[in-house]
Structure 1
Amino acid sequence: MTHDAAPPGPALSRATPARTLLPLFLPSALVGAVVSLIFIGVSRLADQLKDVLWTDLPNALGIGGFSSLWMIVMLTTTGVLVGLVVWKAPGHAGPDPATLGLQAAPMALRVLPGLLVATALMLAGGPSLGPENPIIAVNVALAFWAGRRFAPRAPGELWVTLAEAGTIGALFGTPVAAALVISEALAGRQMRGLLWDNIFPPLTAAAVGSMTTSLVGHPSFDLDLPPLGDPGWADVFSALVIASAAAVLGMAAVRLFPYAHKAFSFLRHPMVALPLGGLVLGLLGCLGGPLTLFKGLDQVAELARHPDDYSAGRLALMAVVKLAALVVAASCGFRGGRIFPAVFAGASFGLCAHALVPSVPASLGLATGVLGMLLAITRQGWLSLFTAAVLVSSPSIISLLCIASLPAWLLVTGGPQMQLREDGSPMR
C-alpha cells in the first residue's frame, strides 16, 4: 500500500543577518532626518506666505481676508503665479500631477526648484491640495541622487523607498503610517528575507523622520473629540452606513476626475488652465466658505472644536464643495496631494451624519466618514484605517473602523482611481 507524498509547503524565507541590516541604519536615519527637515522648511515657508497673503495684505488694504472678493482674487492670482512657474521653470515643475501618487519615480534635479516653488505657492494660496505628493517627489529625487553619488553599489530602489517612508513618517508625525503603506506595497512583490527584514531600513527612516517632525514641527492629529465608549449595535450600524456612504460620495468625485482633467487639458497652456482653475476654486470658496480652502487639516480641527455649531446642510455643502475643489485643483495643474483634502471632506460628511442623527457620536461619524472617503480617493486601505483612527484617540474605534472598512472597500475596489495614466485614462 502506497501513500501519496504530501504536497510541499511554501518555502520559508530565511532571515537576513543583523550584520547585513546594521550598515543600513545610519543612511536610513540620515535620509529620514533630511526629508523631514525639507518638509518642515517648505511648510513653514508656505505658512509665513499664507499669513502675508490672507492677513497682512488684506488688512493693509482694508479688505476682509476671507471676503468673497479676496478669495476670488487670491485663488485666481495663485493660479497665475503657479502657471508662470509651470510655464517657465526648468522641467515645468514636474509631470502632470494628475498622473502622480504617493510612489514617485526619481526626477531630474533641475525640476525640483520649480516644483518646490509651485508647491509653496499652492499651499499658501488656498487651493484644496496637500503637500504629500510633491514633497515625496522632491525627497525621492534628492535621496536617489545622493545615494547614487555617495553609495553607488546600493540599489537605487533602496533610496526611493527610504525617501518615501521618511516623508510619510514626517507628514503624519508617526512611523506607523509609513510601515503600513510599505507593508501594503510589499504584499505584491517577491521579497527576499522576512517582512520585518525588508521593513527595517524604511521603518528606520520613517521613525527618524517622524521624530524630527515631532521635535521641530510639533504636529498633532488628535482632534480632542470626546472619546467613544463601549460600542453598541447602533454604533456598528452607524459605522457601516457612514463609511459606505462616504465611499460612494468619494467615488463620485473619482469618476468626475478624468472628465475635469480632459476639460482643462483642452486649454493646453498652463497660463490659461491654472488661472481659470484658480477662478473656479475662488468661486467654490465663496460657496463653501473659508473652511473649504487650503489643504484641510487645520480646518478639520476647527470643525472638530465646535461640531454642533454647523447645521447638517452646511456640513454637507462643505463636504461636496471640498470634493469639487479637490477635483478642480488636481485636474487643472496645481502641484499637490489628495489625502488631506479628502480628510476634510470625509470629516464634514461624518459630522453631517452626527448633525442629522445626534445619537451618532461626533467622533464615530468623523472617523468613519474619513475612512470611507480616503478608501475611495487613495485606495490605500491601511493608510485610510490609520488616518481615521489617529484622528480620534479612542481604542474602541479600531474595531468599528475595521468592520466599516469591509463594505466600503467592496464599493471602491476594482473601480477607477483618482490617478490618471499619461493618456488621461484612470488607473484601476
Structure 2
Amino acid sequence: MASISGGNRMKKVSVVLIGYTLVLSAVIGVVAALFLAIVHFSTDFIWEKLPRSLHEPSLYPLIIGIIGGLLVGLIQTKLGAFPYTMHENMAEFRKTGRIEYKNRLWKTILAAWVILSFGASLGPEAALVGMVGAMITWLVEHLRINLASKEELVNLGIGAMMSVIFLAPFNGVVQDIEHKNPVERKLPSWLRYLLSIVASFCALASFVLVKHLLPLPESIFGIRLSDHSIWNWQNLIFALPVIILGVCFAFYFNGLETLVKRGLRFVQNKWVLALIGGISIGLLGMVSSYFLFSGEHQLIEMSSEVTTYSWLFLLLIALGKPLLAAICVNTGWKGGLIFPAIFASSVMGYVVTWPLDGHIGFLLTIFVAASCSRIVGSPLLTSSILLFVFPLQFFPFILLTSFLVSPKRVRELLHKETKS
C-alpha cells in the first residue's frame, strides 16, 4: 500500500510540476523576446537612424560611447554593480537555490538595456539569466508547492532561458548534467530531464512566436547542412594543428580579461572606469562596427562578406573584439562573453584556415569548437550551442573536439557520473 501511495504521490507531483513548467516556460520565452526586441529597437535608433539623420558625423561613435559611459557610471554609483554576470547569478543560485528579486529586478533590466544599447561588445545571456531567475523566483515563491519543487522550477527556468538565448533545446539538460545543482534531488533523473526538455521546447516555442511578430534580425542559430563533402584525409590532417591554434586563441581570449583586470586595478573610481569602457567602445567603433555589440547578428553579415576583407583586417577584428569585451566587463559594462567568443573565434578561424588547402567550413568549425570549449569551460554546453551554428554533419567533430580540448572537465563529468 505504501508503494502504491508513493507512486500516486509521485504522479501527482509530476503532473503539477509539468503544468507549472509549461506556464513558466511560456512566460520566459515571451520575456526574452520582448527584452531583446527593446534592445534591438534602441540599438537601431542609436546606431543607425540617429547618425543618418545627423549626416554620419565622424566622431559619432565616440560621442555615444562617452554618453554610455556616463550612464553606466551613474548606474554603478547610484544603483550598484548591475547587471550581475552569469557566473555571479549561477553562484548565487547554487548557494541559495534562488535568485534575489526584491529591489533588484528593475535595476538589472535598466542596466542591461543601457549597456547593450550603447554598443558594449557583450551578449545578453548574463542579464537575461539574472532577469528570468529573479522573475521565476518571485513567481514560484508565491505558488503553493513545497520548497524542493520551487527550487526545481527556478533551476528549470534558468535552463530554459539558456535554451532560448542560444535556440538550443537541450541546454537545460546539459546544465543539469554538467553542474552540481543546489536542489536536493527528490525527483528521479528521468523526470528532471523530461521537465527540462519540456521547459526548453515550451520557452523556445513562445520565444519564436513572439519573435516572428516583431521585426527582429535573423539569428545565426538554425539547423543547416553543408553542400560539400568533408570526408577526406586532407581535412583530418589539417584538423590537429587547427585544434591547437584554437586552444591558443582561447588562451589569448581568457588571458586578456586577466591582463585588463590587472591593468585597471589601480582605478577605483567607478565613473572613470565606466568612461574608459565607453571611450574604448567609441574609438574601436570608429574603426569598425564589428567591434561593437555581441556579434551574433554580425556573424551572418561577416560570413557573407568575409572574402571582401583583407587578411589583416580580419586579424584586427579577431584580436580586437576580445580586447574590447575584456575592457567592457572590467569597467562596469557587464554582460555575457559567449556570443563575442563565438564571433571572435569564427573570424580568427577564417584567418587561420585561409591559407590551408582544405574544407574551410569544416576546419573553421573545428577551430571554433576548440576555442569556445576552452573559453566557456563547458564541452557539452559549447557543443549544444554550436550544433545550431554550423552544419549538422559537423556535430560529431564538434563534440569530439570539445571533449578533446577539455580533458580535465571530462574527468570531472565521469567522476560525477560514477559517484551518482
Give the structure-1-normalised TM-score: 0.83
Secondary structure in structure 2 of the residue aligned to 1:356: coil
Question: Contact 1:130–1:337 at 8 Å: present in 2 too?
Answer: yes
Structure-2 residue corresponding to 1:235: 235
Distance 2:40 2:197 in 1: 29
- SS of the residue corresponding to residue 93 of structure 1 reads coil
1:226, distance to aligned residue in structure 2 (A): 4.4
- Give the corresponding residue for 1:114: 107
Runs of 4+ in 1 over 4 A off after TM superposition: 101-104, 186-194, 223-226, 410-414
1:164 equivalent among 149, 153, 158: 158
CA shift, 1:107, in A, is 2.3
> In the alignment, what sits opposite 1:206?
200
Deviations 1:267-300 (A, max 9, x none): 223221111111123223344x211210100111
Separation of aligned partners in 1, 2:165 and 2:261: 27
Tell me how far 1:262 sits from its aligned partner: 4.0
Q: Distance in 1 between matches of 2:234 and 2:349?
A: 15
Secondary structure at the aligned position of 1:375 is classed as helix
C-alpha distance in structure 2 between counterparts of 1:109 and 1:312, whole Å = 50
State the partner residue of 2:254: 254
Give the match for residue 335 of structure 2.
336
**Shift of residue 353 of structure 1?**
2.5
Q: Quick one: which amino acid aligns to residue 281 of structure 1?
A: I
Q: CA deviation at 1:201?
A: 2.3
2:392: which partner in 1? 394
- Which of 369, 372, 391 is the aligned partner of 2:370? 372
- Residue 3 of structure 2 is matched in structure 1 by none
Residue 42 of structure 2 is aligned to residue 43 of structure 1? no
Distance in 2 (CA, whole Å) between partners of 1:188 and 1:363 is 40
Q: Any conservation in 2 of the 1:353–1:365 contact (CA below 8 Å)?
A: no
Cα displacement (A) at 1:86:
2.2
Read off the aligned partner of 2:405 and give its amino acid letter: A
Kindly state the Cα deviation for residue 141 of structure 1 after the two structures are TM-superposed: 1.2
Alpha-carbon distance, 1:369 to partner:
2.7
In structure 2, the CA distance between the partners of 1:48 and 1:187, relative to structure 1 (3 Å rule), is closer
* Cα RMSD after superposing both structures: 2.8
Shift of 1:412: 8.8
SS of 1:144's equivalent? helix
CA contact (8 A) 1:316 1:352 kept: yes
* Cα 1:326/1:413, change in 2 over 3 Å: farther
Cα gap change, 1:120 to 1:100, in 2 (>3 Å)? same
- TM-superposed CA distance for 1:174, in Å, is 3.4
Amino acid at match of 1:214: V
For structure 2, the 5+ residue unaligned runs are 1-6, 94-98, 213-217, 412-420
Cα offset for 1:389? 2.6
The C-alpha deviation readout for 1:164-199, integer Å capped at 9, x for no partner, is 112112112231222222222259998556432222
SS of residue in 1 equivalent to 2:350: helix
Q: Do 1:129 and 1:326's aligned partners in 2 also have CA atoms closer than 8 Å?
A: yes
Alignment-derived partner of residue 77 in structure 1: 67
1:98–1:333 Cα contact (<8 Å) kept: no
Deviations 1:331-353 (A, max 9, x none): 21113111101110111011122
> Which residue does 1:278 correspond to in 2?
278
For residues 254 and 91 of structure 2, the distance between their equivalents in structure 1, rounded to whole angstroms, comes to: 19
Query: Which residue is equivalent to 1:424?
Result: none
Counterpart of 1:62 in structure 2 is: 55
Q: Which residue number corresponds to residue 88 of structure 1?
A: 78
- C-alpha change, 1:388 and 1:111, in structure 2 (3 Å) is same
Q: Which runs of 5+ in 1 are unaligned?
A: 1-13, 415-428
Deviation of the 1:309 alpha carbon: 2.1
| Deviation of the 1:140 alpha carbon | 0.7
Q: Write the letter of the residue equivalent to 1:250.
A: A
- 225 and 173 in structure 1: CA distance in 2 versus 1, 3 angstrom threshold: same
In 2, Cα distance between the equivalents of 1:209 and 1:324?
33
Question: What is the match of residue 417 of structure 1?
Answer: none
Query: Does structure 2 retain, via aligned residues, the 8 Å contact 1:308–1:355?
Result: no
Aligned-pair distance for 1:228?
4.3
After the TM superposition, which of the residue ranges 191-200 and 138-147 deviates more from structure 2? 191-200
Q: How many residue pairs are counted as aligned between the two chains? A: 393
Residue deviations 1:11-55 (CA, integer Å, cap 9, x gap): xxx9x9544322101111122111222211111111111111112
Displacement of 1:200 after TM fit? 2.3
Q: Which string of whole-angstrom CA distances, capped at 9 and with x for unpartnered residues, describes residues 95-116 of structure 1?
A: 5x48536565312321121211
The residue that corresponds to 1:383 in the other structure is 381
Name the residue aligned to 1:323. Answer: 322
On the 8 A contact 1:127/1:295 being kept in 2, the answer is yes
When the two structures are superposed, what TM-score results if normalisation uses the length of structure 2? Answer: 0.84
In the aligned structure 2, how far is the partner of 1:110 from the partner of 1:237?
56
Deviations 1:231-276 (A, max 9, x none): 2222223333323312221222313323422443432232211111
For residue 404 of structure 1, report the CA deviation from its aligned partner. 2.4
Percent sequence identity is 20
| Counterparts of 1:223 and 1:126, CA distance in 2 | 29
Aligned residue identity for 2:209: L
Residue range with higher mean Cα deviation, 321-330 or 380-389? 380-389
Change (3 A) 1:34 1:121: same
- Pick one of 45, 58, 76 that aligns with 1:52: 45
**Do residues 351 (structure 1) and 350 (structure 2) align?**
yes
